[in-house]
Structures are given as structure tokens and as C-alpha cells.
Structure 1
Amino acid sequence: MRVVIAGGARGRALAEDLRMEGVEVIAVVAATAPAAVVADATADAAAAGLVAALSSADVLVVDADRAALTAALVAACDRFGVRIVARCTRASDRRLAERFGVRAVDADAPAREVIDPAAGDSTRPVGRGRGRVIVVWGAAGSPGRTTLAIGLAAELARDGRRVALVDADSHAPSVALATGLADEGPGFAAACRQAARGALSVDELERISLPHGGLSVLTGINRPGRWPELSVERVQAALTVCRDWADDVVVDVAASLELDEEIVSDLDGPRRNAATLGALRVADLVVAVVAADPVGISRFVRAHSELRAVIGATPVRILVNKTRPGVLGLDPRTQVRRAIERYAGAGEMWFAPADARAVDAALLSAQPVLRAAGRSALTAAIRRFVGEALEPPPPPPSPRRRRRRPSRRPVAPRV
């Protein structure tokens, strides 16, 4: 573990204790130096050196002071994948650390407790058990993967379950845009970097995720060029930790299922489709979204065999979206069902209508469909799909035989 300490004389003392514990301390700087260098990294050569140290560090230890712990510093550390530990002397210091979502320790805490999140931290969130990973996938085009992923996650969270929404789309991430969340520090990319170092935990996921109406959201990469950060190993490791963080983890992925090693010569290089393939391989359930038009159906049929080759025996729930009679005749559901049954061998499927007004309301308000248009036909379809395909209702109680009660009518006495 590589640590940067900001804190003057107390920082130098802590550095000596950490070195005795076998921890690599790469820099000891003034208390406000990290915040200053983040505000202006072009000041001098020393500032550039501190930025390089921060980018290679695992932990930054800083005083919980308004001049030393700033929003810009927290955002920069999120981009670098650096965990912040704030040393507190007063109750106001702890409130400041909680406001930024960073870990707080006492100023005189032992060195091991400073770098070990599990040592002496009574406020650490406790895992809720092995949750399930639900991956929302669809063939190329715009079948409505992101809209339905957000809607399904919101519906799953209605009964009090802890639900996480993850944007693992390495081609066109859009969860942050659809929910109105900031993506300066992509949460899922930071989680993947922490997972690669073996430092991802439940409290780290709490820190880097963003709340959105009862959901915990890990936003996707903010530039498509950052896709090499989402490797298969990192994605699978991050989603494995997410199982201990949430009851349901809804993952939005890209459409392409091509194996990159078949089309490139560098067998050890990064893969553009690694995030999609990695998420599908660890999924407990796959929601396959199909656009209800001739092009969308043909694309799904051709990609279905590739999907099965990736996921094996993982259950698939088919959700046919944008169902309308205009392109498929008077009975679109029957037409779609027959085509998918014949060419993809899939039997059971669910349907969601083409409801442009509800989707527009959701995008305008940056909310899930069920909150923006709670009485729409699309909301009813999502709730029916969750109730039948994702959370089957409990079986009805077995009927009991009604025992005939004795008649209470008076009986005439015999004469």
C-alpha cells in the first residue's frame, strides 16, 4: 500500500509509525498542499511532483480542515482512485468528513487503524449478504436498455430493498445523463481501479456512489476513450464486491458481444467489449431488451446465439420494448412472439408499449419512468415485468375445505 500524508509535524510522526508497520509512505507534505495543488497543478515542479504522487497512491491522509479537505480534492482523488482518510480532532471535523463522504479517524488514532478501514471503525457499513447481479442487455440500436435499466432498478427498490444501478457501458454510457447526476468522477471506473488493487470494500462503494431517489448509482465513464479502465478482471471483481453492498445490482451494458481477441493481433491488449462480457459472465439474471420492429427483432435473433455462448445457462428474461401496431400489423405481440420463438427458440417473453410521452417526461425530469409518469402504460408494464420475471409473487395459499357448520335452526320436538 502506498500512502501520501498531509499534516506537517503530526504527519511526519504518523509516517514513521506507518513505515514501522511496513507501509510505503511516498510523500509527506504540508496540510493544505494537496488542496492547493489540485486547485492549480501548474504552479511549479513541486506541484507536478505531488500530483504524480497522488496519482500513484492508494491512500491520502489529510486533516479534516476546511482549507485542507475541499470538494476539488475529493473529486480529484475519486478520479485517481485514491481513498481519503480524514484525521479529526473536533466534532465539526467529523461532520465535514461525513459531508464529503470520506472516512474519519481520530487525530491520535494508531497507525494501523488509519490505513485499515476495518480496524476500530464502528461506523463502517455492514454488508447485507450475497446480492444478485441483473444485467440489462440488448442488441445494437436503441431498444431502450438504459431507460428500462433505470426503471427496473427503481421498481426493485420500491419495497425497501437496497438496489445499486451500475453503468458499465463502454461505448455510449448514459445513466448519468438520464438521471441528472454528475460524472466528473466516474463511480464505476473508480470502483474497478480499487478492485484491481484489492482495496474495494462496502464503505468505498458507499463513498464513490451517488444517491438518486433511493438508488445508489455508480456512473459510467465520462469519455468513451476511458474504456481501457474497464477490463474483464476489474469489472468482475467490482461486481463481486457489489454483491455484498446491495440486494440487487442492476447493470447497464453495451450491445456488442464481439470477442476482441478475434479481430486484433495484440492478445494482451485491452478489450473494448470487456465490460459487457465481464458483466454478463458474472450475472445471475440477464434481461434481454428487444425493439419491437423488424430491424430490432432481426438484430436480436442474430445476437441471441452469441449471448448464449457468453452466459451459458444463466437465465434470460426477454422484454420486448416499444411495442406498437404501426410496424407489425394489428396484433404486434403475436407477430413478435412467433418470430422470436421460431428463430431464437425462446418461449416466454414480456411486452412494454411504445410510450413516448412517459419516456420524455422521465428524461425531462431526470427521474425513472415510474416517478415521472406513475400512471403510464410503460410504468404498468415495468411493474408487471418485475413482479412476474424478476420477483415472482409468493404462491397463493392452498385452499382449505370449508367444514359444514351444523345448522342452528331450532328443531321441532317430537310429539
Structure 2
Amino acid sequence: MTALIVAVDGRRGRALAEDLAFEGAEVRLVVPAADPATAVADAMAGPEAAQLLGELSRVDMLIVSAERSALTAQLVAACDRFGVRIVALCTRDEHRRLASMFGVPIADEEADAASLLRAPASVPDAVAAERGRIIAVWGPSGAPGRTTIAVELACELARDGRAVALVDADSHAPSVAVATGLADEGPGFAAACRHAERGTLTVAELARIAVPLGPVEVLTGVNRPGRWPELSRDRVRGALEVCRQWVSDAVVDVASSLERDEEIVSDLDGPRRNAATLAVLAEADLIVAVVAADPTSVSRFVRGYGEMRAIAGATPVRVVVNKTRTGALGIDARGQVRRTLERYVGADDLWFVPWDVKAADAALLAAQPIAQVAGRSAFSAALRRFVGEAVDPPVRVRDVRQPRRQGRVSTRGRLARRAA
């Protein structure tokens, strides 16, 4: 007889326990989904925690909802020590990705009791993740909108069911956490870099330290600019390599500065302020270069583009002209920017994003991505077109909620670009 604990919320948990008992299993406890993880993390005190941990050490199986608060690295480690088999109940793609990260067998939320008892002891090879892609978002100084584009790009890529991470590697002015209303007291990307240096960074550890922003996993930046020495070149490269195993697309927001002056004035192999930016650009599979549609930003972009290209090498670069409006450049603003960039940097493929003040202000007020508060705005529409035309995913992922969106947008976008 299989002894087990059911950690599923509400009526579904009680009904599942009755079905399992009918199939001959010994149901020792029925608890809310997050209780085992909370008890293992020493966040739950009292006799309830002692009883739960005691039962967990004696059962053969734990059936738990595959939510971030319920399926944690500490719980998986504790079950491994106790020899308890975990079966994760999944309702969404993000639940399946989380379970596959930990190597936990996956079952559908509506699976019957008999199939749960026969769940395999390990995850089949078919769920192994493909090697992911690093997408760097760079732009000149002067707030062209790098962070905004990075956040919205990650949210748009996640709509198609891909596993997407947003990484703040800005060593000068990190702002992803502030812009999206996330707490930045946690370890974030700096902790991932420290683990990478010690060789202890794993997919499970990244999942533990990441903060969810809807379907996007976020590694927040350093909460004080003075901590920039933690983002050294080798650390960043090691962290990005594990990110490739963690998600399909990792969107990395970097600082604007590309100078190597500190290497000239010092013969010592010490920390470099711009090492994180240089490492990300060198490791990236795709670079999104952001320039604002005003004379100052275009001038700075022209000066920095050549140096960025020298660092990136043969890596493809997609140029996004953000904050496009006629007020700063007069009539035919797009044409002026296009001709200038074609002449001075040879950028013939450009994507324009409008200066949508209402959508940007609504996102700032709510501390949420524009895609969540103004999904039908002109800004969101332009960014969706950019993703469909220029950021083709390495592997097509079928989204059961929107099965035809990706292919149709990509084809229509390419035809529109050729016509332009």
C-alpha cells in the first residue's frame, strides 16, 4: 500500500484524496499546496509543522500542485533525503517548466487517482530543455528606453509559451525591479554570479532566486550601484551559460557604457565597472540596440554603435527606434532617423516604436509592464510587430491558447517590411 500526502488546495485536494483512498492508497494528510514547502523552509512553526514533517519522512509519495510557492528547491531536496517521490499537478506551461527543472514527474491537474499512483519515478527525456538564447538589450546613455524595451520584449516572448527570463545586468543604474514593482532586496543576478564563480549555480538555484513577473522569471539587479564588482566578467559568463539551460530566452538589460579605460590605467587584473556589459554583448546570440528618436540620442548612438559592433562581432543586431514622434524631429521623423542611421552606421533594417505617453504613464503608475496595463496600446502593437519580424525564436513553441498567432504575425510582418 502506497502512503502519501496530498498537497492540493481546496475541494480538489479533498476529492483527490478520496479517489486515492478508493484506489487503495493510504492518504496520511491533506494540506494546502504551499504547506510542505513552508514547513521545510522553517517558515511554519508549531505542532502543524512538526506533524507535517514527520509524516513527510514516513510516506512514499507527495502529490503537490506545481506552483512556485508549493514546489520549491528546499522541498525537493527534503523529499530526496526522505526518499519521497514527488508528483507535480500541472495546469499551465509554466508549471510544467518548473517541474521539469527539478526533475519531478508531471501529471495533468485532471488526472485520475490510478494514473497518479502509476506516475513514473523520473521525468521522461522528452521534456529536456533546448539550449537557450541570450538576447542583450543595449543603448546609448541618456535613457533611450533600454529597460522598457527589455521588460516588454520578455513579456511578449513569454506569450507564446516559451520559458523566458529577464536579467538586470546593468552595473551603473539597474532599474528593472523599480520599473516592474518587484522587491530588490533579494539576491538576484549578483547571487547567480557568485554561485557561478563557485561552480554551484544550477537550474534549480536560478529558479529559487528568481522573482516571478507573470510568466517571466526575473533576476533583479544589484540594489546598490556600489555592488558592481560582484558582476565580474567570468561570473557573468558563467551565470549566462546556466541561464541557457534554464530558459529558452534570457533577455538581459545592460548598461550603456562600453569604455575599457580602467584596463589602460591599471596593470592589475582588478574589477572592471563595464565588465558585465562587455561580457553580455560578447556572449549574446542576438542584440537589440535601442535609440530614442531625438537628435541627442541619435548622435550618441552613432558614436557608440561601432564600438558595440566591435565587441559583438558577428552577432546579429536589431535596431529599435524608441520614442518616435514628430515633436523632436519635425515632419517625417522616421525618414530622418532612417536616413541618418543608414548613412552613418549602415543600419538599413529599423523598427520604430511610438512615443506612447499614456501607456508609459499607466505602466509607471501601476509598476507593471505596459503589456499588462495597456496591451492594446500603440506601443504594444509596435513591439509585437518587432518580435514577430526580428526576434524569431530558435524553436517554435505551440501555444494552445493562441495556436496561430506567432506564425501569422511573423509572415505578415516580413511582407510589410519588404514593402516598406
TM over 0.5: yes
Q: What's the CA shift for 1:291? A: 0.8
Question: Aligned letter for 1:240?
Answer: E
Match of 1:154, SS state, is: helix
Give the match for residue 274 of structure 1: 275
Residue 214, structure 1, aligned to residue 215, structure 2: yes
Q: 1:134 to 1:67 in 2, by over 3 A?
A: closer
What amino acid sits opposite 1:334 in the alignment? G
Q: C-alpha separation between the residues in 1 aligned to 2:198 and 2:150? A: 29
Contact 2:40 2:74 in 1 (8 A): no
CA contact (8 A) 1:89 1:107 kept: no
Q: Residues 390 and 110 of structure 1: is their aligned pair in 2 closer, same or farther, counting only changes over 3 Å?
A: same
Match 2:55 to one of 57, 75, 90: 90
Residue number in structure 2 paired with 1:404: none
- CA drift of 1:248 comes to 0.7
Q: Distance in 2 between matches of 1:270 and 1:166?
A: 21
Residue 326 of structure 1, CA deviation? 1.2
Partner SS state of residue 361, structure 1: helix
**Partner Cα separation in structure 1 for residue 193 and residue 295 of structure 2:** 38
Q: Secondary structure at the match of 1:254?
A: coil
Contact preservation (8 Å) 1:260, 1:272: no
Report the more deviating stretch, 304-313 or 125-134: 125-134
Residues 158-197 of structure 1: pairs in structure 2 closer than 5 A = 158-197=159-198
Question: What residue is the counterpart of 1:199 in the other structure?
Answer: 200
State the shift of 1:68 in Å: 7.4
Task: Name the residue aligned to 1:109.
Answer: 81
Structure 2 match to 1:145: 146
SS at 1:103 equivalent = helix
Cα offset, 1:356, TM superposition: 1.2
Whole-angstrom CA distance in 1 between matches of 2:203 and 2:316: 27
CA distance in 2, matches of 1:292, 1:189: 33
* Equivalent in the alignment of 1:250: 251
Question: In the superposition, relative to structure 1, how do residues 326 and 312 fare at CA in structure 2: closer, same or farther (>3 Å)?
Answer: same
Write the distance in 2 (CA, Å) between the matches of 1:342 and 1:98: 53
1:69 paired residue number: 42
Seen in structure 2, the aligned counterparts of structure 1 residues 65 and 181 have a Cα distance that, compared at 3 Å, is closer
| Structure 1 residues 222 and 106: alpha-carbon distance in aligned structure 2, compared to 1, 3 A threshold | closer
Q: Cα distance 1:354–1:192, how it changes in 2: closer, same or farther (>3 A)?
A: same
Question: What is the alpha-carbon distance in structure 2 between the residues aligned to residue 246 and residue 299 of structure 1?
Answer: 33
- Change beyond 3 A, Cα 1:66–1:247: closer
The structure having more radius of gyration, on CA atoms, is: 1
Asked if 1:287 is matched to 2:283, the reply is no
Give the 3-state SS of the residue equivalent to 1:90 in structure 2. Answer: helix
Given that 2:39 and 2:53 are in contact with CA atoms closer than 8 Å, whether structure 1 keeps it comes out as: no
Q: CA separation in 2, counterparts of 1:336 and 1:205? A: 40
Describe the superposition over 1:340-390 as per-residue Cα deviations: whole angstroms up to 9, x where unpaired.
Answer: 011111111110111111111111112211211112111111001001010
Q: Which amino acid aligns with 2:192?
A: A
CA distance in 2, matches of 1:297, 1:107: 56
What's the secondary structure of 1:164's corresponding residue? strand
Q: Per the alignment, do residues 99 and 225 of structure 1 end up closer, same or farther by CA in structure 2, a change over 3 Å counting?
A: farther
The percentage of counterpart residues that share the same residue type is 61
CA gap of 1:129–1:306, structure 2 versus 1, over 3 A, is same
**Separation in 2 of the partners of 1:173 and 1:161?**
25
Q: Give me the TM-score of the superposition, normalised by structure 2.
A: 0.68
- Return the alpha-carbon distance in structure 1 between the equivalents of residues 350 and 300 of structure 2: 17
| Counterparts of 1:67 and 1:368, CA distance in 2 | 33
The offset of 1:259, in angstroms, is 1.3
Equivalent position amino acid for 1:287 in 2: V
| Matching residue's letter, 1:290 | V
Match of 1:342 in 2: 343
| Counterpart mapping for 1:13-162 below 5 A | 69-70=42-43, 88-91=53-56, 99=70, 101-104=72-75, 105-106=77-78, 109=81, 122=104, 127-162=128-163
1:395–1:141 CA distance, 2 compared to 1 (3 A): closer
How far residue 261 of structure 1 moved from its aligned partner, in angstroms, is 3.6
How far has the Cα of 1:66 moved from its partner? 5.4
Ranges in structure 1 where 5+ consecutive residues have no aligned partner = 1-62, 72-86, 112-117, 397-415
Map of 1:298 onto structure 2: 299
Structure-2 change in CA distance of 1:243 and 1:121 (3 Å): closer
Using a 3 Å threshold, how does the CA distance of structure 1 residues 341 and 284 change in structure 2: closer, same or farther? same
Q: Could you give the per-residue CA deviations for residues 119-170 of structure 1, whole angstroms, max 9, x where no partner exists?
A: x974799751101110000011100000111001101111111110000001
Instruction: Output aligned runs, 1:313-324, within 5 Å.
Output: 313-324=314-325
Q: Is the 8 A contact 2:57 2:82 kept in 1?
A: no
Aligned residue for 2:250, secondary structure, equals strand
Is the Cα–Cα contact under 8 Å of residues 64 and 88 in structure 1 kept in the other structure? no
Give 2:55's aligned amino acid.
R
Q: TM-score, normalised by structure 1?
A: 0.69
SS at match of 2:326: coil
In 1, are the aligned partners of 2:37 and 2:69 still within 8 Å (CA)?
no
Please, which runs of 5 or more residues in structure 2 have no aligned partner? 1-35, 45-51, 84-99, 106-121, 394-406, 413-420
The question of whether the paired residues in 2 share the 8 Å contact of 1:231 and 1:274 is answered with yes
Residue type of the alignment partner of 2:288: V
